[in-house]
Amino acid sequence: MKSSDIITATTIDNKPYTEPDAAQINVGLSACLAGQEVRYNGGHTQSRLCLKLLRKYFTFKTFCPEVAAGFGIPRPTMRLIGDPNKPTLTFSNDESSDLTAQLERGYTDKLSEFSDLDGYILMKNSPSCGLERVKVYQANGHPHQIRVQGLFAAALQQRYPLLPIEEEGRLHDPQLFENFVLRVYAYRSFKSEVVATPLMRNLLAFHSQYKYILMAHNQTAYKELGRMLGQANKNISEDFVGEYFELFMRALENPANRKNHTNTLMHMLGYLRKKIPSAARQGIAAVIHKYHKGQLPLITPLTLLNHYIEQYGSDYIRSQRYLKPYPESLGLANRL
């Protein structure tokens, strides 16, 4: 990553926040999305989004559970059949073939190798990798109304329930894409800044810097996390850190909506009320209002507000990762 992409934030507790570079952000990727010819027909489904854009920011670790399980290339197509609560993997042209155990052997021993990941991008609709809406077929050949996760995707999420996981297809939605990237950076930051050195001062610094991101995503969780920290002992336990981390990541699961972004921007503007002229505050508020009405993208009030915060804001407000939660060069706020 270019040095110009590194964010230098004001020091909190003598620990400045700097954005991780691409070598530090590790993301799992379905091998077919990386352009590897591992699909049933010997082809691939190369993702330009991953290979042309995200590879500048993430280090990808590729994996195909079907190849790891020893299924050949090419191979017959596969499908899930039977009970949606416990589906069976078979070849599409031979439903008497139970391939479930073979697939599970292919990925079970690999799951532990994903502990260093900060996110995972999966291939949609796959009976092994689909994250949701995967068909399970009945004996009459028609799919159940209930759709499920692919077998590998379900095992991955069970093993790492807080890991940001998304299907590549859903990342073409601007809100889902932004939310996934934000969660990846937040997940990585928590591991490196709190889990690696689980001290109360580190957790408080982390929570302080993520205050407005939490406010924009889930105000109930924001208040609950604040209460947790207010009632905590000085020497925090591993269980406490885990409880905080779970509630924190759950709070970020859904994209922030326009109303909550507007509320957050106005809260941050409040920190400037005694520092800048009234006309300037009214101008910023007007831009925020236009964003709320859908007339401007989020990047416009963010850029304007950040301009004044850099000049007149306190150390506390300048440290907020809401202003720059990931590299600006991704351009994600331009589409929100």
pLDDT in tens, 131-146: 999 999 999 889 999 9
Q: What is the pLDDT of residues 251-291, one digit of tens each?
A: 999 999 999 999 999 999 999 988 999 999 999 999 999 99
Residue 37 has pLDDT above 50, yes or no: yes
CA dihedral for 308, 56, 6, 218, sign (positive or negative) = positive
Q: Are residues 218 and 324 in the same domain?
A: yes
Number of structural domains in the chain: 2
pLDDT of residue 14: 37
Q: Are residues 65 and 123 in the same domain?
A: yes
Distance CA(254)–CA(256), nearest Å, equals 6
Residue 271 · residue 309 · CB < 8 Å: yes
Q: Are residues 154 and 289 in the same domain?
A: no
Mean pLDDT of 159-175: 97
Number of H helices, E strands in the chain: 13, 7
Mean pLDDT of 73-79: 96
pLDDT of residue 24: 85
Residue 227 has pLDDT above 70, yes or no: yes
Instruction: Please give the residue range of the domain that contains residue 35.
Output: 22-172
| Residue 293 maps to a domain | yes
| Residues whose CB falls within 8 Å of the CB of residue 152, separated by 6 or more in sequence, listed in order | 65, 103, 107, 128, 129
Q: Are residues 74 and 134 in the same domain?
A: yes
| Residue 17 maps to a domain | no
Q: Are residues 221 and 166 in the same domain?
A: no
pLDDT of residue 8: 26
Count Cα atoms within 13 angstroms, Cβ side, for 225. Answer: 28
Q: Are residues 150 and 287 in the same domain?
A: no
pLDDT of residue 213: 98
| Residue 204 maps to a domain | no
Q: Are residues 62 and 154 in the same domain?
A: yes
| Residue 39 maps to a domain | yes
Residue 233 has pLDDT above 90, yes or no: no
pLDDT of residue 38: 96
| Residue 4 maps to a domain | no
Q: Are residues 157 and 258 in the same domain?
A: no
pLDDT of residue 134: 97
pLDDT of residue 257: 96
Q: Are residues 148 and 217 in the same domain?
A: no
How much is the mean pLDDT over the chain? 92
Boundary residue ending a domain (172, 203, 231): 172
Q: Are residues 29 and 152 in the same domain?
A: yes
Least confident of 11-25, 80-94, 243-257: 11-25
Residue 130 · residue 123 · CB < 8 Å: yes
Q: What is the pLDDT of residues 48-59, one digit of tens each?
A: 999 999 999 999
Residue 323 has pLDDT above 60, yes or no: yes
pLDDT of residue 113: 96
| Residue 2 maps to a domain | no
| Residue 255 maps to a domain | yes
| Residue 78 maps to a domain | yes
Helix (H) or strand (E) holding 165: strand 165-167
Q: Are residues 88 and 164 in the same domain?
A: yes
